Amino acid sequence: MKCSCTSLDCAKAGKHVGYCKCKTMNNKDKYNSHVALIMRYEDDCNWIAREFTEKYFDKESAGDVEEWWVGGTIGSVIYINDFYFSMEEMVLALSNKVSSKSLFLWYEQWTDCNNYNRINLKSWIGGLRL
């Protein structure tokens, strides 16, 4: 079905794209649109995880990097060589250009079982320390 909306992406494709909000979409198109949107989200999450891993886990000194999404849920929490990071933490670290040293210092205090006063990554980036 030709898309009648004004989305530039739809205009280029000559049809609905995965995230089109056009009112002329039928139920099948809406379902396919949602599936395409989810696939795009998962691709983006995997890309962010790959960038995060390449920046913070040196493959040459650590050997092969073992990584997987916890529970198989892309975009939630990722396991990387005995460390666990949420999607929010990966995005914060990358977008704020956090150094490896600072990230792993934060992680150490965040996972310290004897520390009841933990600082989240956003506050850590902002300079909060106990």
3-state class percentages of the chain: helix first, strand second, coil last, to nearest 5: 50, 10, 40
Distance CA 8, CA 120 (A): 39
- Distances from the Cα of 12 to the Cα of 9, 15, 39, 99, angstroms: 5, 8, 20, 40
Which pLDDT tens digit goes with each residue over 52-79? 999 999 765 556 888 999 999 999 999 9
Which pLDDT tens digit goes with each residue over 7-33? 555 555 555 555 555 555 566 666 677
What is the pTM (predicted TM-score) of this model?
0.73
